[in-house]
A = this chain, B = another copy of it.
């Protein structure tokens, strides 16, 4: 696949992401994706077998991107708490800087449009994060709870904070970021 091709495929994905974030999963016909991406309807079907496939592809791309974002600047030798804060902030920053992506993921993650296969693959991207939590539990930095529950609680606080900004209810300042991360840590750290 040459540059031209990669470009078109990406434009299709970008347009789909934007439109679904703007207008919703429903209300995003292929014809609009075609217009926004400047790729003809026929060509879209050259790159993807169906509309559903575009969405599943996008879903996986984003899942991977989100997982990767968390580890930006990660230093395995840093103290556990420091790494915890880094990853929490990384994740929140990602969500805040790409609101369309949060909107898309939230709409799709429940929808049956996403195949079980894609959901399964999406979970695999969580493995490093899950490992980080397990490490914390075992090393005594985190409470003795099921790591999956801890991960969900962390994720919940990040999404909760990001949605607050997304919904326009509160502008998330640096002070809010630090406070929220601290609250999350205070709740999960072993006493």
Q: Which residues of A contact B (CB under 8 A)?
A: 22-27, 103, 106-107, 109-113, 143, 145-146, 148-150, 152-161, 163-164, 169-170, 172, 176, 179-180, 183-188, 191
Cβ distance A66 to chain B, nearest Cβ, rounded Å: 15
Partner of A161, one of B149, B160, B183: B149
- List 10 additional A-B contacts (Cβ < 8 Å) besides A153-B161, A155-B160: A143-B179, A150-B183, A152-B160, A153-B184, A156-B157, A156-B159, A156-B160, A157-B160, A184-B187, A186-B191
If A153-B180, A183-B143 touch, does A148 touch B164 (CB 8 Å cutoff)? yes
Other-chain contact of A183, B26, B107, B163, B187 (Cβ < 8 Å) = B187
Q: Which of A25, A155, A183, A185 has the most CB of B within 10 A?
A: A183
Q: How far is the CB of A170 from chain B (nearest CB, A)?
A: 5
Q: Is there an interface contact between A24 and B160, defined as CB atoms closer than 8 Å?
A: no
A-B contacts, 17 of them at CB < 8 A, read: A24-B111, A25-B26, A26-B26, A103-B110, A106-B109, A145-B176, A145-B179, A146-B176, A148-B164, A148-B169, A149-B172, A149-B176, A149-B179, A153-B157, A155-B160, A156-B158, A183-B187
Closest residue of chain B to A24 (Cβ to Cβ) is B111
Q: Which of A152, A154, A159 has the most CB of B within 10 A?
A: A152
Provided the pairs A152-B161, A161-B149 are in contact, do residues A24 and B25 lie with their beta carbons within 8 angstroms? Answer: yes
